[in-house]
Structure 1
Amino acid sequence: MEFDPNDRDCPTRQLLDRIGDQWTVLIVLSLRDGPRRFTEIGTWINGISQKVLSQTLRSLVRDGMLTRTAYAEVPPRVEYALTPLGHNLAETVTYLDRWAREHMGEVLAARAEFDQVKAAAR
């Protein structure tokens, strides 16, 4: 089957929405170095609500990017880890993370210049 994201009914659009989401990117980055528990991921990602974290993890498991392993312990323990597909995505996300860090100064300067020009035109 051939997929074309330019086709409005193509499922790749849903996938691009998922992997382009800020929370997905941060979750994948948090799991690059190995499995983590729910609370560890939430602590690593400053500002994510438990509800959004839970929903995003569930979606990533459904899409085959993560595994969810529940251990029969007291208290119960659940760990999330990248699958081979998730590791492949992590390579791309890591590059984007590095690019953003390296070029943020340029982006901030461009924004300031744009805002200055826009303010002067008023």
Structure 2
Amino acid sequence: MKITPLEEFRQRSLPGTFEVRRLKEQLSAAAIEAGKAWGTQQVGLNYDPHFRWDDQTLYCSELVWKVFKKAGVELCPTKRFRDYELEAPEVKKVIEKRYGSADKMPQDEPVVSPGDLADSPLLVPVPKLSK
């Protein structure tokens, strides 16, 4: 994991795919500090292309979910791989590349997707940022 400046992240995002959301309710300073402290400790970890739910490596949505959880907020329930639609050809291609085949994929592994986070009823969109 590394810290990426917001503008750099925005510039590498596909057009129309970048949106900022925030909590509807303000967190206490202690909760914010707890989430920030845990998140800061993760800088330097490798990205997890296999989406394991341990803290040895992390993928992007897992990092966001766990930072909020450390701050006392569960943005959404975790799901299992088997809960997602995995039949699309482009998804099958990624599964084969990362796992060799779908039967080698950990079907019961907890997982959270960017869409799961974005759909959290605890979040609201932040008005568009001007360039």
Q: TM range, normalised to the smaller chain?
A: under 0.3
TM-score under structure 2 normalisation? 0.21
Question: Which of structures 1 and 2 has the larger relative contact order (alpha carbons within 8 angstroms, sep 6+)?
Answer: 2
Flag the structure with higher helix content. Answer: 1
